[in-house]
Amino acid sequence: MTVRRVMGIETEYGVLATGPSGAARPAANPMLLSSQVVTTYRALVARAGARPAARWDYDDEDPLADARGFHVRRSAAHPSMLTDDPARPAPPGPAAEVARPDLEEADDPSAANCILTNGARLYVDHAHPEYSSPEVTSPRDGVLWDVAGERVMLAASRAASALPGGQGIVLYKNNVDGKGASYGTHENYLVDRAVPFAVLAELLIPFLVTRQVFAGSGRVGLGPTGDEAGFQLTQRADYIEAEVGLETTLRRPIVNTRDEPHADRTRWRRLHLILGDANLFEVATYLKLGTTSLVLWVLEHLDELADRGLRAREDLAALRLADPVADVQRVSRDIDLVAKLELADGRTMSAIEVQEAYAGVVARALDLLGPGPDADTETYAVLDRWRSVLARLRTDPQSCAREVEWIAKRRLLDGMRRRDGLAWDHPRLHALDLQWSDVRPERSIYQRLLAGGAVERLVDEEAVADAVHHAPTDTRAYFRGEVMARFPDQVSAASWDSVIFDVPGATALQRVPMLDPLRGTRGHIGALLDASDDVGALLAGLRGE
């Protein structure tokens, strides 16, 4: 048993323009602001010696494939779903065959896209700058390259704000704009395709609904526009409207059904989760990734566990919620952590009790199948931290204030309310909530707590600074990042599962497929990269010549 699997986080950042006095300019075009952030960072990296200006390769993307076994007609798809070709929205009228454009036709030289030397992608998605982390294999690395994304966004916004004749641009690592819009923090986990999607969704949903108790980042205001006074655990809860579904910007589901693995689809599926918050607390991100990975491991081994006498499938099925969509909001608004959720069989359990049941199944599975050669120390560390946080949330939630983000935020807000006699709908509380997630350290409330030692860190700044420029060494992100650093002028395009080279003297572009995320690592390709003076030599080595 192991917590390790290929995973990553995509974060859309809130964007705001400011005038010379620092006052907000809400009428500024967010698409333009986001494009300035991305293209300025691309130029900034170029001045540092690397030029990640390659196009994104959309050729292998298929966002309308549904894990339930069908394709959505392109003519029926909402334009926001067509991420494989943002220049071509869904055609009007009845269903029509839409030919996929070739690579040159699909590319827009002015498109705001940047493939980074750390293997990540920085681009504009739905009027927000998005940092999509490189593929990692552990929760701790997930934290490291997620925090590296915060530093990328800080550098990008500062550089864009300093442009002659430009305007101030401020970025926020949050999920709501306070006016009814929500933008996503999406998690991705590679899962064994042998697990039926229906089983995956059914047994995972109660866990996802209730993990808010330790993974929420906290929010002032209730309802999509935040008009109702109050505080809740998460920022995304008021925007979840379905149990499963393909959409990400409307009718948002607990479990997304996009069947786009960016890998060998005969072996894996990519579980795409869109209900989570953007976390600044590193322990919250660590637990979010780690506990989800542990539960997925159990779901991948249900038959083996049954053969060994553990009825994990039945134990988890017994946790099925009667109304999971409504419970997402119910858990988020239960700041005292005492509300009872109705289960499908008529019993009731609190969110913490549901989480404890999941942790118990994971622990029994580890005892039965572990430790084994795959059970590393991080597996036990995640499980121990998970159970410890749950126990303390049950008895003394304030003892989790260094690890659980919503608790720290609420404690700060409660202090302000008591000191100044403020109601939950006071504008100052909403302002503090926004300032919490400001990427600028001199303005960020979170960064002040961090500097004061009030937040537990899992990674250090030296490692973060390295992760800004260098990819994980144990996934294909290493190859993607290294060729962007070493041969930027010869990389014509790239995606998660391919790199396309423009080799001097060659008659055609040459694609290197990367359908196995665990190849292209430093151990696999590092020596060849070091021995290759140019792209031609690298490709010859890959071909075994």
CA distances from 86 to 61, 76, 113, 308 (A): 12, 16, 12, 49
Q: Is residue 292 helix, strand or coil?
A: helix
Q: Determine the Cα–Cα distance for residues 347 and 262; give it in Å rounded to an integer.
A: 40
Q: What is the full DSSP assignment across 155-191? A: HHHHHHHTSTT--EEEEE-SSB-SSS-B--EEEEEEE
Instruction: State yes or no: is 420 an active-site residue.
Output: no
Let me know: does 125 contact 81? Beta carbons within 8 Å. no
> Of the listed 59, 107, 125, 334, which one is catalytic?
125
Q: Is residue 487 helix, strand or coil?
A: coil
Q: Is residue 287 helix, strand or coil?
A: helix
Nearest to 271 by CA among 296, 241, 247, 301: 296
Task: List beta partners, residue 348.
Answer: 342
Nearest to 121 by CA among 77, 196, 56: 56
Q: Is residue 219 helix, strand or coil?
A: strand
Q: Determine the Cα–Cα distance for residues 67 and 204; give it in Å rounded to an integer.
A: 15
Let me know: does 11 contact 130? Beta carbons within 8 Å. yes
Helices 282-300 and 197-210, axial angle in degrees (round to 10): 150
Q: Determine the Cα–Cα distance for residues 359 and 356; give it in Å rounded to an integer.
A: 5
Tokens of 309: 């006498």
Q: Determine the Cα–Cα distance for residues 389 and 211; give it in Å rounded to an integer.
A: 11
Nearest to 294 by CA among 404, 233, 370: 370
Say how many C-beta atoms besides its own lie within 10 A of residue 54's C-beta.
Answer: 25
Q: What are the helix and strand counts (H, E) for the chain? A: 18, 20
Tokens of 146: 């997620």
Q: Which residues contact 117 (CB under 8 A, 6 or more apart)?
A: 45, 50, 52, 469, 470, 471, 481, 482, 484, 485
What is the torsion angle, in degrees rounded to the nearest 10, for the CA atoms of residue 492, residue 120, residue 87 and residue 170?
-130
Say how many C-beta atoms besides its own lie within 10 A of residue 458's C-beta.
Answer: 16
Phi-psi category of residue 226: left, alpha or beta, with phi > 0 → left and psi -120 to 50 → alpha: left
CA distances from 309 to 312, 313, 371 (A): 9, 11, 17
Q: Which residues are identified as catalytic?
A: 125
